Amino acid sequence: MRKIVKNERGITLIALVITIIVLLILAGITLNLVLGERGIFKMAQEAGRNYTNAARYEDNMLDRITSEAEGMIGGEERKFARKRTSKKSTSRRLCSI
């Protein structure tokens, strides 16, 4: 009876060591995915920058469309004058993005 009890304790110890090793491997993989070169935090920062750039571009395009609409409402002379100035300012805005 004592031999069976001793063998069960050994199996329990081996199972514990294997479980700890597996948990350490999983923790290493998780840390790499979260904090690594292409980790979740870096991807979130990149997504934030992309969102900011897209919002800036959308604002510029909305300003351009608004000025063109105002030019159409204001008459032909104003429309052509705005087009000449808006092309230069639009290209400057697009280059800054």
> In this structure, are 17 and 46 located in the same domain?
no
Q: What's the number of domains the chain is made of?
A: 2
> In this structure, are 85 and 63 located in the same domain?
yes
> What is the per-residue pLDDT for 8?
55
Digit-coded pLDDT (tens) for 22-60: 999 999 999 998 888 888 989 999 999 999 999 999 999
> In this structure, are 90 and 75 located in the same domain?
yes
* Percent of the chain predicted with pLDDT > 70: 66
> In this structure, are 15 and 50 located in the same domain?
no
Buried b (16+ CB within 10 A) or exposed e, 38-76: eeeeeeeeeeeeeeeeeeeeeebeeebeebeeebeeeee
> In this structure, are 51 and 26 located in the same domain?
no
> In this structure, are 83 and 51 located in the same domain?
yes
Residue 88 has pLDDT above 70, yes or no: no
Residue 72 pLDDT class (50, 70, 90 cuts): confident
**How many Cβ atoms sit within 10 Å of the Cβ of residue 90?**
15
> In this structure, are 45 and 28 located in the same domain?
no
